[in-house]
């Protein structure tokens, strides 16, 4: 989203989808970070400099997923269930690995991103 208007519009949409009011400025830094990280991920995957307008909705959906998974702004490290036992109930938690999540995120949106992907030799 090389155009700052598109970036600002995506940021406002992302803020709304995450349940923040337009007046709530506390989450702006985390929202901006999630959006920038997603844009960088898409640029690197697609081998492009500017993000086309056709990817705006995809970027926003990916940013929502990234924001929720990474728990930006939270003091706690994101956790996921690592192991579950039924007898005498035992549940183990482990930290989420961001690199693996980014790969998973790309896999989820690969169909939309491949339309814009450029081959580099």
Tell me whether residue 40 is in a domain.
yes
- Give the pLDDT confidence score for residue 39 in this predicted structure: 93
pLDDT computed for residue 6 by the predictor: 77
Question: Could you tell me if residue 120 is inside a domain?
Answer: no
| Residue 54, pLDDT score | 92
User: How high is the pLDDT of residue 83?
Assistant: 66
**Spatial distance between the Cα atoms of 56 and 3, rounded to a whole number of angstroms:** 11
Q: How many residues does the chain have?
A: 121
pLDDT of 87: 74
Per the domain annotation, does 28 fall within a domain?
A: yes
Does residue 78 belong to any structural domain of this protein? Answer: yes
What pLDDT digit, counting tens, does each position of 14-69 carry?
Answer: 999 999 988 888 888 999 999 999 999 999 999 999 999 899 999 999 999 988 88
User: How much is the pLDDT for 99?
Assistant: 53
- What pTM value is reported for the model? 0.71
Is the pLDDT reported for residue 75 higher than 70? no
Q: Kindly state whether residue 100 falls inside one of the protein's structural domains.
A: yes
Task: Write down the mean pLDDT value for the chain.
Answer: 81
Residue 27: the pLDDT is 86
- Domain-located, residue 90: yes
Q: Looking at the domain assignment, is residue 121 inside a domain?
A: no
Q: Average pLDDT in the 99-120 region?
A: 84
Higher pLDDT, 75 or 120: 120
Judged by phi (left if over 0) then psi (alpha if -120 to 50, else beta), residue 74 lies in beta
Task: Report the distance separating Cα 73 and Cα 56, nearest Å.
Answer: 24
What is the rounded distance in angstroms from the CA atom of residue 48 to the CA atom of residue 117? 7
**How many structural domains is the chain composed of?**
1
119 in a domain, yes or no? Answer: no
CA distance 24 to 71: 17
49 lies in which domain range?
Answer: 4-114
């Amino acid at each position: 989203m090389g155009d700052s208007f598109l970036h600002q519009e995506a940021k406002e949409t992302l803020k709304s989808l995450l349940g923040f009011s337009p007046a709530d400025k506390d989450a702006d830094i985390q929202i901006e970070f999630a959006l920038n990280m997603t844009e960088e991920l898409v640029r690197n995957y697609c081998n492009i400099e500017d993000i086309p307008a056709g990817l705006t909705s995809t970027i926003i959906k990916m940013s929502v997923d990234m924001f929720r998974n990474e728990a930006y702004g939270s003091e706690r490290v994101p956790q996921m269930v690592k192991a579950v036992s039924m007898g005498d109930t035992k549940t183990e938690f482990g930290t989420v690995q961001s690199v693996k999540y980014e790969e998973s995120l790309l896999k989820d949106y690969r169909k939309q991103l491949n339309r814009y992907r450029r081959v580099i030799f």
